[in-house]
Amino acid sequence: MSLWVDKYRPKNLGSLSYHGTITQNLQALARSGDFPHLLIYGPSGAGKKTRIYATLNEIFGSQVEKLKIDVKTFVTSSNRKLEFNVLSSAYHLEITPSDMGNNDRVVIQDLLKDIASIEQVDFNNQSSSKTKHRFKVVIINEADSLSRDAQAALRRTMEKYSSNIRLILVCNSISNIIPPIKSRTLLIRIPSPSTEEISSILSHVARKESVKFSSTNEAEINKFLGTLADNSNRNLRKALLSFETVAMQNETIALNNSSLSIINLDWEVLIRNLSVTIRQNRNVATLAKVRVTMYELLSHCIPARTILKTLLFNLLELFTQQTLIEELVDLGSVFDERLSLGQKSIFHLEGFVAKAMVAIDNALS
């Protein structure tokens, strides 16, 4: 009984349903049995990982889905033990550098060196057999969070081990990737699917799962699914999960959107309520109340940057004055930067709220 999001995940390139050109390119690479280092980027929930695994599946066969997780330990120069997880199959492995903290450079260098040397030996052994694949694939998740140091080191590694390692870097944006890496990889951009693409996937799932709607009118159903897609900010994963949630909560889904309240994420609701509070009560006491929620969100590992951004966009929806919108966004970007430069995010979150209250005060008076 797997989740719909897993159950209907395309396993090979042929069954991917959108971004035809990209699929075509990937298919071409897969056919040639080899590919250059890749840098795959795009918003979350756009299907980056699905495409990567589908490609690997095409090259290596379904063995790549037999995943196991290993805990590797690494002893840092300061003699501290660092544990991180490596997800691997016989043909590839997957790492997430944020697990490694400030030591990402050394850890990745070591790891790749290990893999490269092992692969080299393997290659020598099998040289008489006709295996096509002389390389191992290393997927690096969240590559944009790699330190500059690690990226610089990676650039050398890419050249050094180009004969037996293929890197696939995955990230949301390439802004933080240093140019040498960009120029040494094949960039593949995966945009979010469009609302229509998501709704068509949702309706496909609805058919397969015989989801019942309060009406059988196709247009109405599509409109409902479109709302669901928009609500997910075109994140396919989110859309599928929220759709399954709605379907589970209701025997028959009412198409008048009354069943949709449940799909709003708990933390997003908290932030939306914050924005309403900020609009209504702009005083010192409210600031203290806002702080409770801010700490609540932070304590639940919601990144401060996400909190700030979500709050900002919620506020923008509440107002129409052009100058106010300008000012709120400007404040948002100032405090967004402070989150990067400072140490304790609570100062900057509250700073934003306080300044936003003043801005709203000025705009409304």
Interacting residues with another protein between 235 and 264 (CB under 8 A): 235, 237-238, 241-242, 244-245, 248-249, 262-263
Contacts of residues 16-21 at CB distance under 8 Å and 24 or more positions apart, as own/partner, are: 16/47, 16/50, 16/51, 16/54, 17/197, 17/200, 17/201, 18/47, 18/193, 18/194, 18/197, 19/47, 19/51, 19/190, 19/191, 19/193
Q: Which of 117, 156, 109 is nearest to 136 (CA)?
A: 117
Residues in region 272-291 near another protein by CB under 8 A: 282-285, 287-288, 291
> Phi/psi of residue 254, each to 5°?
-75, 130
CB of 58 to another protein, least distance (A): 11
CA–CA dist 254, 265 (Å, integer): 20
Q: Does residue 84 contact residue 74 with C-beta atoms inside 8 Å?
A: yes
Q: How many residues bind another protein (CB under 8 A)?
A: 134
Closer of 147 and 220 to another protein (Cβ): 147
Closer of 217 and 344 to another protein (Cβ): 344
Residues in region 8-47 near another protein by CB under 8 A: 14, 18-21, 23-25, 27-29, 31-32, 35-36, 41-44, 46
CA–CA dist 223, 297 (Å, integer): 33
The letter for the amino acid at 65 is: E
Token pair belonging to 347: 């100062």
Closer of 255 and 270 to another protein (Cβ): 270
Closer of 5 and 221 to another protein (Cβ): 5
CB of 352 to another protein, least distance (A): 8
364 lies in the binding site for another protein (CB under 8 A): no
| Of positions 258, 273, 276, 303, contacts another protein by CB under 8 A | 303
Closer of 183 and 210 to another protein (Cβ): 183
Closer of 255 and 332 to another protein (Cβ): 332
Closer of 33 and 217 to another protein (Cβ): 33
Q: Which of 247, 258, 236 is nearest to 210 (CA)?
A: 247
Q: Does residue 115 contact residue 165 with C-beta atoms inside 8 Å?
A: yes
357 lies in the binding site for another protein (CB under 8 A): yes
| Of positions 7, 110, 118, 182, contacts another protein by CB under 8 A | 182
| Of positions 120, 162, 215, 227, contacts another protein by CB under 8 A | 162
204 lies in the binding site for another protein (CB under 8 A): no
CB of 344 to another protein, least distance (A): 6
